[in-house]
Structure 1
């Protein structure tokens, strides 16, 4: 890839982005500049918009391309590419069962430890993403219990320790939206180095036949998660909630029928959930555990008894790209940070990812900063230029086919673009990552023009009219899909007016 040519051409195009028609007679504007400016002018707000022909290595339009805006879930583009670069498509997370102390007459004279590496697929609920996760979430923990029993252990004199220290202790991303409930919401659970079952528990409510008050239990039936029920029989609705700064789940309201009625709630301390779920699996397997579940670090000399390996990263990328799964995005981002700098850290991960893309994809300094992996944080910033640089870079990597296939496809079921671009030349062609949080609407990806050119694009909008922005982004996508190239006249030296050199 000719990185210098890309920077020069986009820098030249920048001359035309200050205002419509700002170029000189010697400097021809990119061919779709005027049409793109007209489209976005109808929606007030802040725009950063770039389209780049990968085939011709030339810009098609460039409007405020170097202006960093809130990217929302377009942030996941950087996360996915960083994970593919740093971890690799074939990388598999490891979750270990370890023992501390000798085994004497079937009694382990110490603790059992479960140590994580941030595997978001560990015990993942199969009904969330059909076709990938087919096992009961407890299956990997039951296999660990079988492994411990095979060592001759019938009693654990200590307790079960969960070790999440591959990641830092910050479990919620900076400035996540209020409706995440600080990790209580299903769409944005907390982030841990020792995740399990999407870091959620299921609250099941059943109404007995004899008219007694409804029964409340957890799935899995862990003891470390406090639950308080205040339910009645009858009409209305029931809720299971956890306040942002509390660990107790409160169930209130009323239920009709026997049920069970199920409510998913993100837990306050995912590693404690994992450790207690393992404790339940051990007891279920006939192993007595005399201590409780707690959080701690793995001591030196601990013996690995069983190792669970995850599905490969290649199978996880579509979950954060096509399905925009925040849970996978956050864990893959922190895992990439752990690989790069030794710990999965929100404060240290942002600079590490920025340096990665500056070095690898030649993203201009100051045009990318990730405060989290998903884009839920409205502190994160990226320019359309930075996103296009990353997209062009990914297209030239060995994992290019995997990456393209992982993105949502316009008009196709099973992704975030299912309802967009229908009955247009972009349908079944444009494939991209969507993004939305309050006041933000973004779309970045690829489309093939009528003449066969592969185009990388990024349409970022911050403002109060996200509905209008969505319509404008559809128009821009169709504009690119319908494009037939013409003779371009771009200064080959790229020296004049280049702000990026």
Structure 2
């Protein structure tokens, strides 16, 4: 990681079967009849259409309208800062369900035209309008095959009756479809959602973008004492203090301690504050799978505008003097850790209830050696400032005040700025390794650039607008409830993925995106056990997706005749093992295509 002194210039500013909306509205989340939800409330898109007819505004303002939609969702984005996790996220789930119905209810239908009117009236980040609105650009149209598709019969024979299936393949060189199966229907995409997250980030932030993390002070230095607070302000960097092999996480923070020492600081009279307000206060996406524990599991930790060490606290357990001793990294004595584990035996584990800060150590701890565990913390920004305090203390700077979270006060002075590695180095974590933590932070950081703050609900709206305008994704065929694809509220059509892949292929950063995908039969990545045989081996590059009841695969492959092909295969249903085999056969069909 790179560091810069204060004031240095920015180096790179730049489910289950039948999730298609054709199914039962009440069973599958489509819009119920008469434009009302199950409780009889007017749907959100009706309000958006009414707002879009107003003479002034901007999409940023439109996104803020989302907070008051419907019933319990009308208490603002995330509730009060003191709201409990359970209440906060139940409100979020209600909002996400409403927005999902609004943005993606009727693929290609009239209910989506209000959305496009909103875009035409305002434009992302546009100033309030003072004159009549210009003529609206054409509404992105759903897929329609004007000519016969050469591989249609072969593809249909692979997927059988197409129950639960959606798929499309497209020649990038001839700009024509090769086959399409329910290409306009929407499905839960699982981690294929990361295709949109990373393309959005590359398009908006740019591959050379670096995340800044700032150290600020709020008071004067008098006789070696900082009479105020130090503030660590984040921008959503997922790599700060990341536990890379051979990397000491504190190395990202130690230059900050050095910068304070150069100011003559030997003591901080106030607090170490965490400013994570670049993101909203919601720590995880709506309706994440139960095995994530809503941010407890290391494979899907909570999300924060100030992240450190993957938002995981490390617990080192050992037996000393006949009892279990626990040490944490970073040092965080305020963190409540309850040791309920016995000495001897095995099966020790560390966990936390989703709505509680307390970490519990259970089972039995062996008498020999060190036992190490990682647990997602409830408030990640406090983990970051606990690490900063440790770095300060190691540098000989005493901290007298407590750890706190909140926005940096006006007038806070920049002491040091840490720069992350370029965004281009992070995208492979999302696509090749399917890392949920990276995907969530990149997605929210992109939303923050567009909207001013990273937000789950408003981010999904902004992403849908972006892909409609830039890639021609039809409204109603894309809704992102999160950045990783863990949420069951995500929905996307095969055609929407195809449009995004085609857009990326033509973008100047397209090679960066292409190189971030997993490669068939390679030693690393999520395709290491798939496409091991030529001509797909080493040729097919794709993003995988899997949660219970979902299998997805999308990417690029070069046909036998040299033709470049983009594809998207989505399956929602119980037969995921069979779907995996069918997707591999579809990929081989494209790799062996000879152009006839």
- Which residue of 2 is the match for residue 23 of structure 1? none
**Match of residue 171, structure 2, among 53, 74, 85:** 53
Q: Could you tell me which residue of structure 2 aligns to residue 322 of structure 1?
A: 432
* Pairing 1:296–2:414 present: no
1:68 pairs, out of 181, 186, 204, with 186
Aligned to 1:92: 210
Which consecutive segments of 4 or more residues in structure 1 shift more than 3 A? 7-10
Q: Deviations over 1:32-53 (max 9, x none)?
A: 00111111116x7411100000
Aligned-residue offset at 1:29: 2.5
Partner of 1:410: 520
RMSD (Å) for aligned C-alpha atoms: 1.4
Corresponding residue of 2:197? 79
Map of 2:89 onto structure 1? none
Q: In the alignment, which residue of structure 1 is the partner of 2:251?
A: 139
What is the 5 A alignment of 1:327-342? 327-342=437-452
Deviation at 1:313, TM superposition (A): 0.2
Counterpart for residue 70 of structure 2: none
- The answer to whether the aligner puts 1:113 opposite 2:231 as a matched pair is yes
Determine the structure 2 residue equivalent to 1:345: 455
Q: Distance between the aligned counterparts of 1:96 and 1:273, measured in 2?
A: 16
Once the two structures are superposed, the pairs formed by residues 15-414 of structure 1 within 5 Å of their partners are 29-41=148-160, 45-127=163-245, 134-208=246-320, 210=321, 212-414=322-524
TM norm structure 1: 0.90
Alpha carbons 2:352, 2:358 under 8 Å: kept: yes
Instruction: State the alpha-carbon separation in 2 of the partners of residues 348 and 320 from structure 1.
Output: 21
Cα distance between partner residues in 2 of 1:214 and 1:271: 28
Contact 1:338 1:344 in 2 (8 A): yes
What's 2:90 paired with?
Answer: none
Q: How do 1:414-433 residues align onto structure 2 when only pairs under 5 Å count?
A: 414-433=524-543
The answer to whether the 8 A contact 2:295-2:302 is kept is: yes
Give the number of equivalent residue pairs. 458
Please give the alpha-carbon distance, in whole angstroms, between the structure 2 residues aligned to 1:98 and 1:223.
24
> 1:9: Cα distance to partner?
10
- Quote the residue 1:130 is aligned against: none
| Alignment partners' CA distance in 2, 1:202 and 1:218 | 5
2:460·2:479 contact (CA, 8 Å) conserved in 1? Answer: yes
Gap regions ≥5 residues in structure 2? 1-136
- Please give the alpha-carbon distance, in whole angstroms, between the structure 2 residues aligned to 1:45 and 1:196: 44
Q: Pick one of 568, 571, 581 that aligns with 1:461.
A: 571
Q: Cα offset for 1:147?
A: 1.1
The CA deviation at 1:425 is 1.7
Name the CA distance, whole Å, in 2 between partners of 1:167 and 1:66.
33
Shift of 1:215: 1.0
Greater relative CO (CA pairs within 8 A, separation 6+): 1
DSSP-derived class of the 1:241 partner: strand
Rounded to whole Å, the distance in 2 between the matches of 1:414 and 1:138 is 28
What is the TM-score normalised by the length of structure 2? 0.75
Quote the residue 2:16 is aligned against.
none
Distance 1:285 1:9 in 2: 60
